[in-house]
Amino acid sequence: MERPRLGFWFEFASTYSYLTAMRIETVAADRGVDLDWRPFLLGPIFARQGWSTSPFNLYPAKGRYMWRDMERLCETLGLPLVMPDPFPQNGLMAARIAHAGRKDPWIGAFVRAVYMAEFGEGRDISDPALLAGLLTDLGVDAPVLLAAAEKPEVKIGLRAAVSEAETLGIFGAPSFVTADGELFWGNDRLEDALDWALRLTD
Amino acid sequence: MERPRLGFWFEFASTYSYLTAMRIETVAADRGVDLDWRPFLLGPIFARQGWSTSPFNLYPAKGRYMWRDMERLCETLGLPLVMPDPFPQNGLMAARIAHAGRKDPWIGAFVRAVYMAEFGEGRDISDPALLAGLLTDLGVDAPVLLAAAEKPEVKIGLRAAVSEAETLGIFGAPSFVTADGELFWGNDRLEDALDWALRLTD
């Protein structure tokens, strides 16, 4: 019997992806579900529907609510929360590194480190020195990964991931996709997505 | 000690409000929380941010996801689901009736009956005959309520509710507001909102 799998689609600029990123590896392991780490970019998807920035900036009431909701949820989860400036952050380089390393054993720890720097400490995740430091802290060869992030195959691979996300019907982050193509959107749906993945291999 | 209260802000055209409406009276009573039934209209709020219809129509990927998510959730909750045509429905008259009767003992049953007709049976909730039938089934004097819905004070009162919703920061439905002004958005947050209301009177 194959082990159940779940695709975790995340965008480094996404606030609610932070909540998921910090807990998904533990929660999925507890349930016996293997993860596919799928960094992608919402910018091109938003641009295609006419948005030039995050909907939380375009629609102020929604934005104010989101930050308050995040405050409450972070307090419940015991996570720090600092609003990065600017918001949204440019997560392109982080996403390229995560795409290059998506099957490496350090991927979960790297993703958590980026989100913690961004939303736990309010740091600028577009800074190559910051990303290099996070990789080094994890014992990963930072110069090799930063160089990998500039390789055409990685750039093209991340662009293909954005197209795949759109094909899967993804319009926000975090999103979860099961082996049969079922889509779940939002940190609130992580448990439902894991249940679905588990039922497929029952 | 005052009993805890929660404002339940609902829009009859809203799909996720259906999920909440069908369960909120029972869930709140079980927790000892009194409800304020607050019908309102999202149309004017959406219009002010440049939307001419539901975001689920404006953004097709989001719309497709919402209907699939509703299917899954309705199956879990044991609720029927029929997509009304057109979507969104015009819930103005239903909202005026609910505003007129918002403190009457039949309000919860009426709200459930409207949502069930709309999303459980796919019926047209702008039809006065349908609304009259639902009221009559509940033992309410339908002609009196239909006439009340046309009174200036009810029309003005519902319009004031929309302004109040905006002041409270409401941008979608269902929404929940506690006595201290804390806002919670979405059926997924009902339990959190009830917890908050209960903590206020601890």
Residue range A130-150, pLDDT digits in tens: 999 999 999 999 999 999 999
- Multiple choice CATH, B5-200, 3.40.630.10, 3.40.30.10, 3.40.50.2000, 3.40.50.150: 3.40.30.10
Average pLDDT of every residue of chain A? 96
* The token pair that represents B132 in the structure block: 């009259």
If you average pLDDT over residues A73-78, what whole number do you get? 97
Q: Which of A14, A17, A54, A175 is catalytic?
A: A14
Of A63, A71, A58, A92, which is closest to residue A18 (Cα–Cα)? Answer: A71
- Mutation target among A68, A74, A194 for the B interface, most CBs of B within 10 A: A68
Could A65 and B183 be called an inter-chain contact, meaning their C-beta atoms sit closer than 8 Å? yes
* A68 in contact with B, Cβ within 8 Å: yes
DSSP-assigned beta bridge partners for residue B39 = B10
Residues of A in contact with B192 (CB under 8 A): 72
Strand partners, B8: B37, B176
Over residues A160-172, the mean pLDDT reads 97
Please say whether the beta carbons of B8 and B20 come within 8 A.
yes
For tokens 């609003």, name the residue.
A83
pLDDT category at B180 given cuts 50, 70, 90 is very high
pLDDT of residue A1: 65
What is the average per-residue pLDDT within A92-109?
98
Q: Which of these, B110, B90, B88, B115, lies nearest to B98 by C-alpha position?
A: B110
The H-or-E segment that residue B36 falls in is strand B34-39
Q: Annotated catalytic, A14? A: yes
* Substitution target from A48, A59, A67 for chain B, most B beta carbons within 10 A: A59
Instruction: State residue B16's pLDDT score.
Output: 98
CATH topology of domain A5-54+83-200: Glutaredoxin (3.40.30)
The pLDDT tens digits of the residues spanning B24-45 come to 999 999 999 999 999 999 999 9
**Amino acid identity, residue A117?**
A
The predicted-structure confidence for B144-163, as pLDDT tens digits, reads as follows 999 999 999 999 999 999 99
B162 Cβ neighbours under 8 A, 6+ residues apart: B40, B41, B44, B45
Task: Give the pLDDT band of residue A122 (cuts 50, 70, 90).
Answer: very high
Distance, in Å, from the CA atom of B104 to the CA atom of B20, rounded to the nearest integer, reads 19
Using the predicted structure, report yes or no on whether residue A59 has a pLDDT greater than 80.
yes
| A185 shares contact with chain B (CB less than 8 Å) | yes
Mean pLDDT of the region A99-123:
98
Residues B50-78: b if buried by 16+ CB within 10 A, e if exposed: ebeebbbeebebbbebbeebbeebbeeee
Cβ atoms within 10 Å of A109's Cβ, excluding its own: 17
